[in-house]
Amino acid sequence: MTVPAHHQNDSSNTPLVVLHGLRFVRGDRVIFDDVNLTIPRGRVTAIMGPSGTGKTTLLRLIGGQLVPDAGRIEVDGLDVHKLGRRELFELRKRMGMLFQAGALLTDLDVFENVAFPLREHTQLPESMIRDLVLLKLEAVGLRGARDLMPAQLSGGMARRVALARAIALDPMMVMYDEPFTGQDPISLGVLARLVRSLNDSLGLTSLVVSHDVQKTCVIADYVYLIAEGRVVGEGTPEQMHTSPSAWVQQFMHANVEGPVPFHYPALDLATDLMGDEM
């Protein structure tokens, strides 16, 4: 399987995305504090962590929708937050993003949704657009659903259409925001297989943000575990399973107790009960 020409360059071993000392604060909550990670090209990298650690926020930071308070994010060698508006838009055309619920445009049918980026950003003739859209839909197995409206699609189907849309412009990278959340086992399997196969056949770089340990570890080449605003563990899925770190242990094996406590911080139980009687 040859990697498409525009994804090759003489530095094809350099990482596609690099986060240097990223710090992001929302209100008085520190979401990220000194996060460093690299996303290698052509591989599936997973970012996992407990709920509420701001994994979606991370994708938005990479895409330039949010600005970090400190640190640097580089995509394909470009400092994302130093780019001008037009350059940022150009960069985004090379990045595909799959949102948690698909985020399809509700007033367009499936075909039009996938054709949207092509119509907006290219001057291709209608016949070419039609062919491209059908091919993308074929890749995700939904070519026959092209006339349905988003409201008529199940959750899993909507995500697959969104995936077809994300790869419409043949991006160099696709970011997946919680693709496995709330899906039935069959859809999960389908989606996971698609993520891996598209990554390999199109020479993409995939960044999967998820907290589904099983599915993600099957398809990921490398995993980062983020908790409390920092990277607390990283490695290949095998390394993660056998890692000695307490954070990693609790997360990978779904332990109730560990660095993430079961009890929300509160007074000692006896005091709380007694207090009512006073």
Partner 1 sequence: MIGDWFAARGRRVLEILVRLGRAHILLYYVLLALPSSVRLFREIVRQIHSVGVRSLVIIIVSGLFVGMVLSLQGYNTLVHFGATQSLGVLVALSLVRELGPVVSALLYGGRAGSALAAEIGLMKATEQLSGMEMMAVDPIERVVAPRFVAGVLAMPLLAAIFSAVGVLGGYFVAVGLLGLDEGAFWSQMQGKVDFHEDIGNGILKSVVFGFVSTWIALFQGYDAVPTAEGVSLATTRTVVHTALAVLALDFVLTALMFNKV
**Cβ neighbours of 278 (radius 10 Å):** 4
> Nearest approach, Cβ of 163 to partner 1 (angstroms)?
12
Q: Which of residues 58-87 bind partner 1 (CB under 8 A)?
A: 60, 63, 65
Query: Of 104, 87, 84, whose CA–CA distance to 95 is shortest?
Result: 87
Closer to partner 1 by Cβ: residue 58 or 95: 95
> Nearest approach, Cβ of 97 to partner 1 (angstroms)?
4
Neighbouring-strand partners of residue 25: 30
Among 78, 116, 129, 148, binds partner 1 (CB under 8 A): 116
Could you give the count of Cα atoms lying within 13 Å of 275 in the half-sphere of its Cβ? 6
> Nearest approach, Cβ of 110 to partner 1 (angstroms)?
15
* Residue 130 within binding range of partner 1, rule CB under 8 A: no
Rounded CA separation 123/106 (Å): 24
* Residue 103 within binding range of partner 1, rule CB under 8 A: yes
> Nearest approach, Cβ of 16 to partner 1 (angstroms)?
16
Among 3, 33, 81, 117, binds partner 1 (CB under 8 A): 117
Among 20, 23, 72, 121, binds partner 1 (CB under 8 A): 121
Rounded CA separation 133/146 (Å): 9
Candidates 1-9, 93-101, 124-132, 205-213: pick the segment binding partner 1 (CB under 8 A): 93-101
CA separation, residue 242 to residues 37, 50, 162, 223, 236 (Å) = 21, 19, 35, 13, 10
Per-residue x/- marks for partner 1, 162-201, CB under 8 A?
x--x------------------------------------
- For residue 177, give the amino acid letter: D
**3-state SS, one letter per residue, for 5-42:** HHHCCCCCCCCCEEEEEEEEEECCEEEEEEEEEEECCC
According to DSSP, residue 102 is labeled -
* Residue 13 within binding range of partner 1, rule CB under 8 A: no
Q: How many residues bind partner 1 (CB under 8 A)?
A: 22
* Residue 93 within binding range of partner 1, rule CB under 8 A: yes
* Residue 89 within binding range of partner 1, rule CB under 8 A: yes
CB contact set of 125 (below 8 Å; sequence gap of 6+): none
Sheet strand arrangement including 17-26: 29-39, 17-26, 70-75, 78-79
CB contact set of 52 (below 8 Å; sequence gap of 6+): none
* Residue 155 within binding range of partner 1, rule CB under 8 A: no
Candidates 57-65, 74-82, 128-136, 260-268: pick the segment binding partner 1 (CB under 8 A): 57-65
> Nearest approach, Cβ of 115 to partner 1 (angstroms)?
12
Could you give the count of Cα atoms lying within 13 Å of 113 in the half-sphere of its Cβ? 29
* Residue 129 within binding range of partner 1, rule CB under 8 A: no
Question: For binding to partner 1 (CB under 8 A), which residues are involved?
Answer: 60, 63, 65, 89-90, 92-93, 95, 97, 99-101, 103-106, 116-117, 120-121, 162, 165
